[in-house]
Structure 1
Amino acid sequence: MNIGSDAVQLYCLGEKKFAHPNSQFMIHAIKWKLTNYTPDKLEKISTSVEILQSNVNDIYSDCFGGSFEYIKPYISNSEDLYLDAEDAERKGIVDEISDKQPTPKKCI
C-alpha cells in the first residue's frame, strides 16, 4: 500500500494508525504549477499556498510529534520524503505494523 501526499495528511488524523509491512509513505511540500497568471492572481495564490502549507505543517507536527524536525526540510523545499512502514513507525506516523485486517466496529 502506498500512501502519498494528501493521503498521509488524512492518515495522520486517525486515532490508531496501522500500516501493512509493505506500506510506503510519501511526504512533501505543497506544489503548484503556475503559468499565465497576472501578478495579482499570483499574489493570491501565494498567500493561499502559505496558509495551506501552515495547515499541513500543523497536521504533520501533531502526527510526528518530536520527529517533526526530521521531516521539516522535506516540507520546506522541493524534495520528497519516502518512508517504509518501519521508518514511519519509528517516526511516529504508524502506531502498529500489521498484515491483519482490522475488525470494523459495528454501526447502529
Structure 2
Amino acid sequence: MLMVKAIVRPEKSSEILAELNEAGYPAVTKLDVVGRGKQRGVKVGNVVYDEIPKEMLIFVIEDECKDDVVSIIARKAKTGQAGAFGDGKIFISPVEEAYTISSGLKGL
C-alpha cells in the first residue's frame, strides 16, 4: 500500500476528486493548508505573501494503482498546457498496514 499526498491549488481540488472518483478511487482526506514552495511565496509590490492557501489531498492506494492516480492528479492540477509555479506537489510514502476501526479488518 502507498499513501499519496497531493498539495494542490484549492480551485483544482474538485476536478481532481471528481476524476479520481470516476476512476475508482473515492476515498480521500482533504485538508486546507497554507505554505510556500521553492518560489518562496509571492511578492506583490513591497508585500511578500508566504502563506499561500492550498489543499492537501491524502489517499491510501494499492501499489499497482500509483501510476494511474499520480497521472490523474498531475493532469488535473496543472495550470494550462505547460503548468505554472504553485500548481503543487505529489508525495508518495509506503504504508505498512491499515485497519478499519469499526470492523477491525486489516487492509483497504
State the TM-score, normalizing by the size of structure 2.
0.28
Higher strand share: 2
Find the structure with the greater CA-based Rg: 1
Higher helix share: 1
